Structure 1
Amino acid sequence: MQKDLLMNKLPTAFCHASTVCVLRDGGVLCCWFGGTHEGEADVAIYGSRYSHGRWSEPAKLADGAEANWNPVLFYRNDGVLQLFYKEGQQIASWRTLVMLSDDDGRTWSTPAELVQWDASGGRGPVRNKPVRLASGRVLAGASTEHGIWQAFADISDDDGVTWRKSAPVVIAGLEYAAGERTADSDIAVSQQSFYGRGVIQPSLWQSADKSVHMLLRSSEGHVYRSDSKDEGVTWCAAYPLEMPNNNSGLDLVRTDDGAIYLVCNPVAANWGMRSPLTLFKSTDEGATWQKLLDLETEPGEFSYPAIIAHDGVIYITYTHNRQNIACVRIPIVNI
C-alpha cells in the first residue's frame, strides 16, 4: 500500500470531500472543496494532478458567488471529462453545475447548470461517482435534504446530456419534526447538516444479473441498501445492513472479477466519530462483507472516501483531518 498526502501546504483553512479519477495519460486527478469554513461563500473547488511521481500544487478550478461543495469526476464515453459540483449556501436548495474538459482536466469549460428546469436541491451525482451500466445507461446517485432525507438515481441515456429522476428511495415509516435538530457533534460541518433524518449520498453498482444496487449513508446508525430490477427507474424501500454507519460518506467500486470494495467509517452512531476508516470486500454482491484493513485508526477525522479501480489497482482518496487529502493506492493482488 502506498499513501500520499497531496499538499505540502493547504491553500485554504480546510479541505474536504475528494473525488478521484485515473486520466487517459495514466496520471491521476483529485478534486475537493475548501475555504474558510464549510458552507461559507468563499468555499471553492480545487484540484491536484499526480504525474511523474508527484502531486501538483493545488489549483482553483471553480469559485462561484456562493459556497461550492462535493466535486465529482467522471469520463463520458467520448473521452470528455466531467466535473460536477454543488453551489449554494443552503444544502436543501443547492444546484448542480458541471464543467467539461477535453484535455484530461488541464482546461475546463465555463460552468453550466446540469438541469436548469429542476435545479433546486441538486441533480446528478450528489457526492459519489456515477456508474455506467452494461446497456450504456448512466446512473448518478443523488439525494435531497429537506427534513426527511431521501435518495434517488438520476438517469441519463445520452451519456450525461439529459437526466431524469428515478422514484425516490426512503426509509419506510421514518418520522421527523420540522426544524428539529437531530444531533450535536464536534465535526466541522455546516450547522444546517444537523437538521434532517434519512438516507443520502448513494454509491451504486450493477450486479452480474444486471440488477442495480445502492448503499447509502444514513442517520440511523447503519449503512442502508436499496435495489432496482429496472436499471434504476424504481427502487425498493431502503433497508439496513449490519454494517455500521456514522452518518458520514461511504463509497464502493465493483471490479471486473465481481468483487465489491467498500470504504467507510464503521461507527454505529449518528454523527459519530469519523475514525477508523476501513476497507471491506464482498464477493456475493454485497450480501456479506469481510474487513480487509484499516486505512486510519487514530483519533481524528478521516472521512468522505472516494474509491475507484483501474488496471489492477484500487485508488482511495479521503479527507485527512480537514488539513489535507490522502490518496492510497493498493494493488488488488495484495488484498
Structure 2
Amino acid sequence: MINTLQIPMSAKATIFFFFICIRLVGQTLDLQIVKCEFIFGDERPFPQCHASTIEKLGNGEYILAWFAGSHEKNDDVAIWTAKGKPGAWTAPKKLAKVRNDPHWNPVLFSAPDGRLVLYFKVGKEIDDWETWVMESLDKGETWSAPKELVAGDRGGRGPVRNHILVLSDGTWLAPASVEKNRVWNAFVDFSTDAGKSWQRTDTLALDRHLVLGEGVIQPALWESEPGHIHMLLRSSTGKIARAESKDFGRTWSPVYLTDLPNNNSGIDLVKMPSGVIALVYNPVSGNWGKRYPMQLALSLDNGVTWPIQQEIEAGSGEDEFSYPSIIEDEGDLVFCYTWNRQRIRFVKVKLESSRN
C-alpha cells in the first residue's frame, strides 16, 4: 500500500511526502519522510552551490559541507558548511579556501575516535587536482589548518565524493577515482593507521567495449560480511556499474554493469544495521542525461535487486536534483542533495523493518 501527498515546494518542483508499508516474503518495511527542507534560502551568500556531503554529530544534529561560488570551476569557488538540526541550521560559513583556485567535492567523515574529518579537492582542472584534509575535535566548531592528504599528489587521492567506509578489521577504505584526458578510472585508497598514511590499489579492470564513453568514477562502498566489500559506480554508459572485493578492498573484480539506470551523475548508498542497502540516485539512462527525479531505492539482497523504488522529488524542464550524500542515523536514512545549484535539500526518512 502506498499513500502519497503531493505538496508544491516551488513553481518548478514537487516533493513527495509519503508513508509506505511494503510487505515482502518474511519481512515488512515501513518508510516515512519525517523531515524535508532547505539548509538555507535565497539569502545565501553565493550564486551557486553543489556536491554536498553530510555527517551526524549526535543528538539529532548534523553537519553539511558543499562547494559554492559564482559557478563551478571558477576561481572563487570555496568549501562552505552549515550545521544544526532540522528547522534550526546555522548560516552558511566559508570553511576552506586554500588558494585562488576552484575547490571541489567535500567529503565529511566521522572517525571512530571522535574526530570529524573533511576532505576536498583543489585545482584548476580535475585532471590535476589534489586532495586536502582538515580535522575538527569539537564537532565542527574549530578546524585544523588544511594540508595535502598525500604530499605532491596530482589527480586526487582519498575519497573523491562519497564517504569513507570503516571495515570490520578497522581499515579505512576511501572510494576514489581519477579523470585524465577524458578517461575515467576507479580505485580505492586504504589506511590501516586511522588516516595517517594511505596506500592505493590498482585501478579497477574496465572493459571499454562494455562501458562506453569516459568510464567510471565516484564509487560508493559497503561491506556485506568481513572482508567482502562491494561498490557501485557512476558510469558514462547509461547504467550504474559494480565491482566486488573479497580481501578487504585490496583487489577487485572487473567492473560490470547493473540494471540500474545512471545518467552519468553522482550516486550514494549506505548499508543499514538490518542489512538493507539504501541507494539515492537519478533513475535516468543516457550519458549526461537529465538530473531528476531524485530517487530512493532499497535492496534486501545485498544489491542484487532493488524492488523498492520511491521518488523523492520529481522535477521538470531544466531542474537539477543531483549529487546525493546519505548516512544512517539510529535506524533512519538521512541525506542531502543539490537543488538546482541554488540550495541544498535535507531529507530524513524513517525506515522500520519487522518480520512477518
TM-score scaled by length of structure 2: 0.86
Deviation string 1:228-273 (CA, Å, 9 cap, x unpaired) is 1111111111100000000000000001111100000011110000
Equivalent residue, structure 2, for 1:49 = 83
8 Å contact kept, 2:98–2:146: no
Separation in structure 1 between the aligned mates of residue 174 and residue 52 of structure 2, nearest angstrom: 17
The correspondence for 2:294, drawn from 269, 272, 277, is 277
Equivalent residue, structure 2, for 1:232 = 249
For residue 209 of structure 1, report the CA deviation from its aligned partner: 5.4
- 1:99–1:25 Cα change, 3 Å: farther
8 Å contact kept, 2:226–2:248: no
Equivalent residue, structure 2, for 1:248 = 265
For residue 76 of structure 1, report the CA deviation from its aligned partner: 1.9
Separation in structure 1 between the aligned mates of residue 326 and residue 205 of structure 2, nearest angstrom: 25
Matching residue's letter, 1:289 = W
Matching residue's letter, 1:322 = R
TM-score scaled by length of structure 1: 0.91
Give runs of ≥4 in structure 1 deviating > 4 Å: none
Superposed counterparts of 1:68-87, under 5 Å: 68-87=103-122
User: Is the radius of gyration larger for structure 1 or structure 2?
Assistant: 2
| SS in structure 1 at match of 2:352 | helix
For residue 295 of structure 1, report the CA deviation from its aligned partner: 1.0
Separation in structure 2 between the aligned mates of residue 32 and residue 209 of structure 1, nearest angstrom: 32
The correspondence for 2:156, drawn from 122, 137, 144, is 122
The sequence identity of aligned pairs, in percent, is 45
8 Å contact kept, 2:331–2:351: yes
- 1:25–1:333 Cα change, 3 Å: closer
Point out where structure 1 has 5 or more consecutive residues left out of the alignment: 177-181, 183-195
Matching residue's letter, 2:139 = D
Point out where structure 2 has 5 or more consecutive residues left out of the alignment: 1-32
CA RMSD of aligned residues (A): 1.7
Superposed counterparts of 1:76-155, under 5 Å: 76-117=111-152, 119-146=153-180, 147-155=182-190
| SS in structure 2 at match of 1:197 | coil
8 Å contact kept, 1:205–1:213: yes
For residue 77 of structure 1, report the CA deviation from its aligned partner: 2.1
8 Å contact kept, 2:168–2:226: no
* 2:351 paired with 1:317: no
Equivalent residue, structure 2, for 1:290 = 307
Separation in structure 2 between the aligned mates of residue 51 and residue 298 of structure 1, nearest angstrom: 26
Q: How many pairs are equivalent?
A: 316
8 Å contact kept, 1:121–1:145: yes
Separation in structure 2 between the aligned mates of residue 169 and residue 148 of structure 1, nearest angstrom: 13
8 Å contact kept, 2:326–2:336: yes
- 1:138–1:209 Cα change, 3 Å: closer
Separation in structure 1 between the aligned mates of residue 133 and residue 226 of structure 2, nearest angstrom: 32
